[in-house]
Amino acid sequence: MRRSLTFVLAVACGLTAANLYYSQPLLDLVADAFGITQGAATVVVTLTQAGYAAGLLFLLPLGDLLENRRLTTRLLFGTALALLLAALSPAYGMFLVVSVLVGVTSVVAQILVPLAAHLAPPDQRGAMVGKVMSGLLLGILLARTVSSLVADLWGWRAIYFISAAFMVVLAFVLHRMLPFRAPDHTAGYGSLLRSVVSLARSEPALRRRAFCQAMMFGAFTAFWTAIGYELIDEHGFTQTQIAVFALIGAGGAAAAPLAGRIADRGHGRSASGAALLLASLMLVLAALGHRSVVVLAVAGVLLDFAVQAHQVMSQHEIYALNPHARARINTVFMTTVFTGGAVASALTGALHHSFGWTGACLLGAALPLAGLAVWSTSLRSRTLASA
């Protein structure tokens, strides 16, 4: 696991994951371009994440069946085509369909994260996953800033052209740098999907971690889906100012390597509870202090920190369950997570329309509390088992 390869994996994860978030700060521009309401424009976020969940369910397991380098490069070319079609969409209906395809094909990041875990020495797995995840998280957190700035300069469609070009470049770079890895699983695709269901049934730790992270990601989605409307409507922000605001969320990426080291030292379970509580408190803070941009910024960066820390600690635990089924384990985990995000974005659109920013924040605050309840139940079970 050379440093150069670690860096390339981190960049690749960031650029591919960013495709899911470029639309979030552009919803107002998309609504104007296609002559639709803000609530209807929110469907773009929902369908992109729903497409990603479908890709996680049906494409990600192929990481345990097909040679990883070939699978990755082919998916990247598919993503480039979908992004190009998004940029050229003449009607909102076509844009929605292509947004689903962007989500479906952007699962490359979740193929590369288990691959990094496979290549890392066991005692450094948490730290290595944390480094690669920091790239992924920076991509997620900087996507909103970059798309806002690009939209301000060249219009909202430009970011899709630019990202399509990046996907083509990544395909060639990864084809050259990734090691050949043929997985051990030799049965067919149907058997592979059935084994995903078996893993979900047989691994309670996987179910618990997936549910808790889905709640965290739902809170993350609620905040960042609605924040653009809040900053424009209540604070008069321009697209450039929204871009600068979104940049503060990038500070949350610092959680990834830190969380990886905490997990390597055996403290991941207790630290996960603290992350769930922190996320809920930050949504409450955002609701109460929405008149201050500084308060919103603090809430945003600490929310991102909590969400990303919880994810890295969760992945450290689940990747140790079965080293030969990491892609399928990641399928259960990430499909659950992004299904939670898609549902949360849909609920956010409805609640924001009816109750404004406060409604979106209260939804976001409630979700990590549900995760905290599951976390505390598992902690009690572990205490009784050791007694």
CATH of the domain at 163: 1.20.1250.20
Question: What's the number of domains the chain is made of?
Answer: 1
How high is the pLDDT of residue 104? 93
Alpha-carbon gap, residue 318 to 205, rounded angstroms: 7
Q: Give 215's pLDDT tier (boundaries 50, 70, 90).
A: very high
Which of 109, 129, 132 has the alpha carbon at shortest distance from 56?
109
Q: Give 156's pLDDT tier (boundaries 50, 70, 90).
A: very high
CB neighbour list of residue 6: distance below 8 Å, 6 or more residues apart: 116, 128, 131, 132
CB neighbour list of residue 127: distance below 8 Å, 6 or more residues apart: 120, 257, 260, 261, 264
Mean pLDDT in residue range 312-325: 86
Which of 125, 64, 186 has the alpha carbon at shortest distance from 319?
125
pLDDT, one tens digit per residue, over 26-37 is 888 898 999 888
Alpha-carbon gap, residue 286 to 343, rounded angstroms: 21
pLDDT, one tens digit per residue, over 335-364 is 898 788 878 888 988 888 888 899 999 999
C-alpha torsion 220→223→225→230, nearest 10:
-170
3-class DSSP assignment, residue 182 = coil
Using the predicted structure, report yes or no on whether residue 379 has a pLDDT greater than 70. Answer: no
Report percent pLDDT > 70 for the chain.
94
Which range marks the domain in which residue 179 is found? 3-386
Using the predicted structure, report yes or no on whether residue 386 has a pLDDT greater than 50. Answer: no
How high is the pLDDT of residue 342? 79
* Cβ atoms 174, 300 nearer than 8 A: no
